[in-house]
Amino acid sequence: MVSLEAIVSGMGYAVLALLLGTLVAAGFLLPTGEPKELRQTLLRAGAYLVIVFLIIAVVSLLIQGAKLRQGTLPSLDLLSRYLTMTQSGKIWLLREAYGAALAVVIFRFAKNSASVKATRWVFLLALPLVASRSFTSHAVAVKENTMVVVAADAAHLIATGLWGGGLLTLFWILYRGVKKMTLPLSWGAETVRRFSRLALGSVAVLVLTGLYQSWIQVGNLRTLFGTDYGRVLLFKLVIFIAMLGFGALNFLSTGPRLFQAAQGNTTDLSWARKALRRIGAESFLALLVFFVTGLLTVLPPGVHAVHQAAVANDTPIAAAGGQSTAKLNPAEGAKVEIISPKAEQVFKGDKVPLRFKLTRGKRGHHVHAYVDGELMGMFESRQGTLNGIRPGRHVLELRVVAEDHQTELDASDRITFVVK
């Protein structure tokens, strides 16, 4: 099931990337003087790719239903409840509706010989469809700065699509031109030059957003090398570096040599064929990246390795007292200060808003909140809410804890508040 989910997820990424690739080629890469039907062919391909993506999304939905039914085929009732009662279900519905409308729009443009300007609008309309995957990805589950992480993930997806999908489309255009001799060499050289500029911009976005996401989802070198997620990410990085190598080769050598060959008005297509082979190899690597990304979406992020291991280990029942009386470890620079509630502050209802200032030091990761010595929750961000607090005077203690949730540090703050 996990393998199937990863493959279907990878197919989804590949199809969306190809969609962006065909639309960016139709709107931005094709130089003037292209055969008229080429833009229409690319637009039609874009519309079909949207439909393929929608079908893949239906398969993903069935897999999701099967996960909720422990591997058996989901009922219509279960799917209906999933789609209407969960955040990811509602996003699925919106995405299918938007995708269907987008396919109709692209088909209409393809039929009516869309102008370059109209084609560029279609490209812009496709971006939300690609970005929508970020709203059901690991990014949406990050607790701090969620929208920033989702935006970075969306930018990463779009940049991957522009580079990888653009490469595959470029390969197809050059194949058509070189193998079938339907396009002049100068035209092919200009297309490669335009793509190289697009690829440069995409790589810059990929590096920035990739580093940021790795920091969020992996956290440190230990999880990078010690978890499945980290190892798959490293493998993706290896492919990315290989792609960069081919990209540099194409940017510094293939493109200029194609131009030289085109300016010489030669009928010798050996350089064009070489370009085709190089771009083909880079395109293959791009396909690998999509499927490795699909695998990453089904693996637990490295930062959850500690929690995953805790679930796998059957914890024995300990002596009475629990964590609140456990031996504290040296603070090593960690500090916490309660900002809210203030001392003796009075609250109505069972919810108490909490704000605090945390200095993590060497080992600190988050805080545990104890009310009257009983653990009531953990907080990673600088604020949160204590729920279910009974009426009366209470002692709140925040204690800095290491990433494993077990190692409590000698860094705490304490305050008294009242609930009426």
Chain residues binding other proteins by CB under 8 A are 2-3, 64, 67-68, 81-82, 85-88, 136-141, 143, 228, 231-232, 235, 239, 242, 277-278, 280-281, 284-285, 288, 295, 298-301, 304, 307-308, 310-311, 314-323, 368, 374-378, 384-385, 387-388, 405
Pick between residue 122 and residue 354 the one whose CB is nearest to other proteins.
354
Q: Pull the structure tokens for residue 59.
A: 């398969």
Pick between residue 385 and residue 416 the one whose CB is nearest to other proteins.
385
Q: What amino acid occupies position 162?
A: L
Q: How far is CA 378 from CA 142, 404, 412, in A?
A: 15, 12, 13
Q: How many other C-beta atoms lie within 10 A of the C-beta of residue 85? A: 9
Pick between residue 69 and residue 111 the one whose CB is nearest to other proteins.
69
Contacts of 125 (CB under 8 A, 6+ apart): 102, 105
Name the minimum Å distance from CB 75 to other proteins: 13
Name the minimum Å distance from CB 27 to other proteins: 30
DSSP state of 329: B
Name the minimum Å distance from CB 44 to other proteins: 30
Name the minimum Å distance from CB 335 to other proteins: 21
Contact between 388 and 397 under an 8 Å Cβ cutoff? The reply is: no
Name the minimum Å distance from CB 298 to other proteins: 7
Pick between residue 64 and residue 214 the one whose CB is nearest to other proteins.
64
Pick between residue 40 and residue 214 the one whose CB is nearest to other proteins.
214
Pick between residue 267 and residue 321 the one whose CB is nearest to other proteins.
321
Q: Pull the structure tokens for residue 275.
A: 């370009």
Q: What amino acid occupies position 39?
A: R
Contact between 395 and 343 under an 8 Å Cβ cutoff? The reply is: no
DSSP state of 182: -
Name the minimum Å distance from CB 21 to other proteins: 20
Strand order in the sheet with 383-386: 335-340, 352-359, 383-386
Q: Pull the structure tokens for residue 197.
A: 């500029």
